[in-house]
Structures are given as structure tokens and as C-alpha cells.
Amino acid sequence: MTTQATNRINLTDWIDNAGFGGYQTLVVLLCFLVTMFDGFDTQAIAFTGPAVAASYGVDSTGITPIVTAGVIGMALGALMFGPLGDRFGRRRAVIWATVAFAGFSLATAWASSVNELIIFRFLTGIGMGGATPNVLALASEYSPDKKRGIVMLLSTLGLPVGAIVGAQIASVLLADGWGAGYSGDFVGWLPDLFLIETWRLIFVIGGVGPLLFVLVLWLVLPESPHYLAETGRHEQVRHRLRRLKGGALLPVGTEFLLPEKAQGAGIRALFSRGLRRNTFAIWGVYFFNWVAWFAIVLWLPSVLVAAGLAEAEAANGTKIINGAALLFVVPLAWYIPRLPVRGVIVALLIGGVVAMAVLAGAGQQWTLIYVMIGLTGLLVGGPQICLNYLAVSLYPTAVRATGIGW
């Protein structure tokens, strides 16, 4: 019997030198579609907020617990699914998270009380929050370093795209008072099961779409090569890399080394000597940035309605803030690897404070309001792109999804 000499390769360096091809494009596309459904469901309550309030006979403050429950669920989902991704794989965690937010979004459509809405939005939030850290980890681990900024952006670009798609659907469904009517008024052929208040159809769409997409993920979405190498499955890594440029030349028996090592694994490793300072710094900026971001994107339609706009027109605010984010953050992500990332974050946050202060005092000057909403998309949303890039760059494979999630 003959033995074959082991060929050891630095996996990170190999991927950095392999370039970017069709297989990585497929991974990014699948990640984009996951976050698109995630973005749709995240902001579904923003689109439907005024109609939900009218349906249950409460004012805008009456839906506050519903909105808050979703955000709390997202926070817990990120905390839960980050470690799950590091332990069981990014692929499984993405699929589990998608099933969770899709299933509970669909259940939301048949909630019979505000309390049920609170419960279902909380559970939906767990899935929504759990998908993103694993999508970011998976996409980044297939990407060469020089492309990582744009890859991470494209993978999470689905969040604003899903919000824009949802806002457009909502502006049609909720026009002319349909939000207070029934789905049969809008789509006459619907079966009896779906003859519900029209605003509930948004949650049906947000549930059925990703549930169907889960089958595609199960069949096509690959596991991270870094996770497979971390868990000693070198032959599976070789099979994955054969799809990449130059991968066909890797011989049987190749072992893949990861140069970055965490001091332990799991949540405790985030506070090891080499990671503690960065962990607290990223947490602090993320916390305050997300307070600002969720405050505006989840409440914007309701605030615009309170200021005098019709429900259908108020949905345009969601399209503007997410559309501006799409327009501006693409070049930002492209140049991130060549920019002083910390300085960019500080500059954007200062601009965001100014933009939101102007927005707060704009009254009913609608042109100024829409301009400031657009700038807020860049100045408040932009730091999240930079923070994601920093997190992926700073945390080693063993705790990457945990680090991003927490």
C-alpha cells in the first residue's frame, strides 16, 4: 500500500489569491436573497403599522410593543444564531434562521390580537436577527480580502432591497383604503383561507416567499470552507475549492491551515486579551448606531402619516431611505479595504447626527424632509457596512459568526 505526502495550504492565503469567480457569485446571490426576504420581513411592521393600529382600534403608540418585540427578537436571534453558526456551520444556521422568520411571519398574518402580534413578531425577529451574522460569515469566507468589502455589501444589500420591494407592495395594497378592507377587495380569486384584512397579506408574502426559497438553500447553498477546515473536514474543503479558480489542481490529501486562531471558542473568546478591546468598541458603536437606524426605519411611515401624509404615500419614505442607502453604500463598500475605516465611521456618524437634527425640525417641508431621509440612509446606514467589515476582519474563523452576531 502506498501513502501520499500531505500537502498543507494556508486556506486564507489560497482564497485571497484565487480571485473571484462564478461559484463565489452564486454564494453571494444566495446570501443576497436570504437578506432580501429578511429585509422585507424586518420592515413589514413599518409598512403595515398604521393599518394595524386602525385594525385593532389603537393609536400609533399602541403598536409600540409590537415593533419593540421584533427588535428584541432580532437582538436575541443574533446572540443565539451566531454561536450556532460557529458550532454547527454557517449553512445550517442560515437555513434554520430563514425557516424561523418565514414561518412566524406567516403565523403573524392570522394573529387575532395585539398580544399574539407581539409574540409572533418576537419569534419572527429571532429568525431575522439570526440570519445576518451567518450570511456575513459565509460570504466573507468565500471572498478574497480585496473583494471582501463589496462582497459583504452585496450579500446584505438584500436588506434595503427587501424593504423597498415591501414598501412598493404596501403602497399598492394599502392604497385607496384597502389596508382597512379585505384581501378579496383587491384579489378576487383568493381562496377563503386568505380572505383576510389586506395588510395581513404583506405578512403572508413575507412568509410564503422565504419558505419556498428554503428548498433552494437546502439544495444549493454550500458550507463555509473555513468552517469545514476548522472542524477537520479537509476533503470537503477540497471539493468546495475545486469550484474556484485553480481549485482543480489541489491534490487528494491536501490539508488546509487557518493562520488565525482564537483563544478558545464561543462567547468567552470574544473577551480574550487579543479581542476584548475591539469587542467592546464594536459593541458600543453598533448599539447606538442601531438605536438610530431602527428608530427611523421602523417608525418612519407612522411618523409621516402623523405629519399629514396618506398611508400609501408614507411608504415612499421607506423607499427613499433604503434607496439612498443602496445608491451611496455601493461605492463606499468598494473602497472600504483602501480607506481608514474607523475615520469613515466617525465622519458618517457626525453627518448622521446633523441630518437627523434637521429632519426633526423640518415640519411639513416635504422636499427638505425627503432629502434628509435620503441622507440619513447613507449617514446612519453607512456605518453598519463599515462595522460589518471590521467585525469580519477582526474575528478569527472559530468565533467569527459569534463575534458578528454578538
pTM over 0.85: no
Minimum mean pLDDT range among 49-63, 80-94, 343-357: 49-63
Residue 69: is its pLDDT beyond 70?
A: yes
Residue 182 phi/psi, 5-degree rounding, is -125, 155
Helix-, strand-, coil-residue percentages of the chain, each rounded to 5? 80, 0, 20
Residue 180: is its pLDDT beyond 50?
A: no
Site of grid cell 434607496: 323
Residue 356: its H or E element = helix 341-360
pLDDT in tens, 74-98: 989 988 998 898 889 999 999 999 9
Q: Per mean pLDDT, which of 71-85, 192-206, 358-372 is the most reliable?
A: 71-85
CB 386 within 8 A of CB 282: no
Alpha carbons 150 and 255: distance in angstroms, whole number: 29
